[in-house]
Homo-oligomer: A and B are copies of this chain.
Amino acid sequence: MADGDQVSSPARAPAIILVAPQMGENIGAAARAMANFRLTDLRLVAPRDGWPSKKAKAAASGATGIIDEVRVFETTEQAIADLNFVYATTARIRDLPKPVVGPREAATDLRARGGKGQATGILFGRERWGLTNEEVALADVILTYPVNPKFASLNIAQAVLLIAYEWMASGLDGALPTRTALPELDHSPASKEHLIGLMQHMEKALDPTGYFRTPDMRPTMVQNLRAILQRAGFSRDEIDALHGVIGAFERLQGKPGGESSGG
């Protein structure tokens, strides 16, 4: 693990290489997935419907910088000619004498290599049958995804999205956007049904007190109260006890003198 990789260190990002993509929509969706996670270098090998592609541009949905900079090659060998280290994505592990890793390890390795100035890339196969064995043989490492063996149907754009996401995450060095600690695990919060029931009970009990000054103010005040009850993460037992408290206040309402015999 490269602990020293900071988001500030400008590791060279991997190229995404789509081999013989068939549908422009998928090329555009891949570009869009890349843009979300700071990848920019998109290369195509012999796109079926030629290039440029209106469908690709439409599907890129704003990631036009990437689409405009696409480079098209006739062969996979040409597309990776300037790269130092190449991954090949495959849906199933093949009988090839190569290392096989998942996207997280791949991203960590790609970032470490990029930090050393290596030019890297990832090959993705055509929609229907992926990469040929000859194309996989051009790569240094096989990248595969930990999908459900009973339902493995990632499309190209999804496969690009996942490795792009891991690429960006690998550069955050523990700094995924996090504001606060999560609530304690061992304290088991009640179901939302019970929590909402408590909220509603409190609001109903407060209505006759004038707590909600005006009908206009009520929604905001309700939301503030709900935020407090939500944040507290009450258990079922705690909620039952709090119903009792509110019920006690309710029963007294309207009783002259404020002295109650209870019950």
Instruction: Categorize the interface residue count of chain A.
Output: 35 or more
A169 within 8 A of B: yes
A9 within 8 A of B: no
Contact yes or no, B262 A158, CB < 8 A: no
A26 within 8 A of B: no
Contact yes or no, B181 A182, CB < 8 A: yes
In the assembled complex, 6 residue pairs joining A and B whose CB atoms fall closer than 8 Å, in A order, are: A77-B192, A82-B191, A99-B182, A113-B185, A202-B245, A232-B232
Complex CA distance for A122 and B184, rounded to whole angstroms: 18
Q: Which residues of chain B have C-beta atoms less than 8 A from A96's C-beta?
A: 227
Contact yes or no, B232 A234, CB < 8 A: yes
A86-B192 CB under 8 A given contacts A36-B151, A102-B176, A148-B168: yes
Contact yes or no, A256 B258, CB < 8 A: no
A35-B253 CB under 8 A given contacts A137-B223, A177-B102: no
Within 8 Å by CB of A245, from B154, B211, B227, lies B211
A190-B84 CB under 8 A given contacts A176-B101, A178-B100, A182-B141: yes
